């Protein structure tokens, strides 16, 4: 997320009681977890395995649990508990809001948009023109929705990411500092859930259509004019190109990229990146022509086995 106004590194120290290594007057302009960092962002690392990766990332400010010598171009914050310090900042920059009315007093709803009874719209939500929000749809705070969007009954937009820090005795929830951004002409099916970004935004591109009971994880970016059929699940931080079709019950792994004009057939599982412009099927998903050859070979196995036994 980008901050409304830059914050000095010295102010971060005051809030978190971290020990600073670097320029205390440097300006923090954003907060992000490591997968989405940009210059000016503050992030955290608490495992030695990822120190080098984080130090070489675009992040300018890093909270970590190891005292180090100054690193050129970086400002470091030492604390025994980097996750807690980062989480505190996330809550400070994007506080949880709990309105007492079904439509938040700071929500902005465009002309000719119709909101059915029992829908919930949180604070600082913006909804464009000519939209329809059906009964029992829930739109969490900070969500941004464009024009001509249809959200069907019982859809949930902007719920918390399924993102936890694991300790020996418990799990610690990461506060979501991102939001959901839905472009123009999108339709979202009944019972579909779209999680807010952990630090950046979860984005649904212009003209994309989501069927009923689809789940979109945190920080996912879906391009324009995509078709996502029922019971598809897309894990966090995955990027899907334009004009992609995912048929029913496709499962998509986290942190991967699916190229433009890709088709994935029903019940397939996608564990790795997919090159655009091709059709895929299977578990794990492979190009359809490869899958057809594999099936043909499998069908011949009984016959080949009989021949082998008679040798």
pLDDT tens, residue by residue, 228-281: 999 999 999 999 999 999 999 999 999 999 999 999 999 999 999 999 999 999
Helix 82-93 / helix 9-16 crossing angle, nearest 10 deg = 110
Instruction: Give Cβ neighbours of residue 262 (< 8 Å, ≥ 6 apart).
Output: 241, 244, 245, 274, 275, 276, 277, 278, 279, 280
CATH class of 2-93: alpha beta
- Confidence (pLDDT) at 298: 82
Between CA 241 and CA 229 the distance in angstroms is 16
Mean pLDDT of 105-126: 97
Name the least confident of 128-132, 218-222, 297-301: 297-301
Residue 297's pLDDT is 83
pLDDT at 311 over 80: no
CATH topology of domain 108-289: UDP N-Acetylglucosamine Acyltransferase; domain 1 (2.160.10)
The per-residue pLDDT for 150 is: 98
Cis peptide before 289 (omega within 30 of 0): no
SS3 content of the chain, % helix, strand, coil (to 5): 15, 30, 50
Which residues form the catalytic set? 218
Domain with CATH 2.160.10.10 in the chain: 108-289
Please count the CA atoms within 13 angstroms of the CA of 116 that sit on its side-chain side: 15
pLDDT at 257: 97
Tell me the per-residue pLDDT of 51-85, one tens digit each, with 9 for 90 and over.
999 999 999 999 999 888 899 999 999 999 999 99
Q: Would you call 272 exposed, middle or buried from its count of C-beta atoms within 10 A (0-12, 13-18, 19+)?
A: exposed
The fraction of the chain above a pLDDT of 90, given in percent, is 82
Q: In a 10 Å sphere around its CB, with 0-12 CB exposed, 13-18 middle and 19+ buried, how is residue 217 labelled?
A: buried
pLDDT surpassing 80 at residue 294: yes
Q: How confident is the model at residue 303 (pLDDT cuts 50, 70, 90)?
A: confident
Q: Compute the residue count for the chain.
A: 311
289: left (phi over 0), alpha (psi -120 to 50) or beta: alpha
Phi, psi of 91 (to 5 degrees): -70, -30
Q: What is the mean pLDDT of the chain?
A: 94
Where are the domain boundaries for CATH 3.40.1390.10 in the chain? Answer: 2-93
Full-model pTM: 0.90
12-21, 204-213, 252-261, 296-305: segment of lowest average pLDDT: 296-305
Under the banding of pLDDT at 50, 70 and 90, the label for residue 211 is very high
* Residues 125, 141 contacting (CB under 8 angstroms): yes
Instruction: Give me the percent of the chain exceeding a pLDDT of 70.
Output: 100
Confidence band of 188 (pLDDT split at 50, 70, 90): very high
> 255 is written with which tokens?
């942190």
pLDDT at 201: 95
Within the chain, how many helices (H) and strands (E) appear?
A: 4, 34
């Amino acid at each position: 997320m980008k901050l409304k106004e830059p914050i000095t590194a010295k102010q971060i120290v005051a809030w978190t009681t971290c020990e600073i290594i670097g320029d205390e007057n440097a300006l923090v302009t954003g907060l992000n977890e490591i997968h989405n960092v940009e210059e000016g962002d503050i992030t955290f690392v608490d495992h030695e395995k990822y120190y080098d990766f984080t130090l070489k990332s675009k992040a300018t400010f890093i909270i970590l649990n190891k005292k180090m010598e100054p690193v050129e171009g970086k400002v470091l914050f030492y604390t025994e508990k980097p996750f807690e310090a980062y989480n505190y900042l996330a809550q400070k920059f994007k506080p949880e809001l709990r309105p007492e009315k079904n439509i938040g007093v700071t929500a902005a709803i465009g002309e000719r948009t119709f909101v059915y009874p029992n829908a919930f719209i949180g604070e600082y939500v913006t909804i464009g023109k000519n939209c329809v929000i059906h009964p029992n749809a829930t739109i969490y705070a900070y969500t941004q929705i464009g024009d001509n969007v249809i959200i069907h009954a019982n859809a949930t937009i902007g719920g918390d990411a399924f993102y936890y820090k694991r300790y020996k005795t418990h799990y610690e929830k990461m506060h979501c500092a991102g939001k959901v951004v839905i472009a123009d002409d999108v339709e979202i099916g009944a019972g579909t859930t779209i999680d807010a970004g952990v630090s950046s935004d979860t984005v649904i591109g212009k003209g994309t259509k989501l069927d009923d009971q689809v789940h979109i994880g945190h920080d996912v970016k879906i391009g324009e004019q995509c078709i996502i059929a029922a019971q598809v699940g897309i894990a966090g931080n995955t990027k899907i190109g334009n004009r992609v079709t995912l048929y029913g019950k496709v499962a998509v792994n986290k942190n991967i990229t699916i190229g433009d004009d890709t088709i994935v057939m029903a019940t397939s599982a996608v564990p790795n990146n997919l090159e655009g412009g091709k059709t895929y099927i299977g578990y794990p998903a492979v190009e359809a022509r490869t899958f057809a050859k594999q099936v043909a070979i499998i069908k011949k196995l009984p016959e080949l086995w009989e021949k082998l036994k008679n040798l």
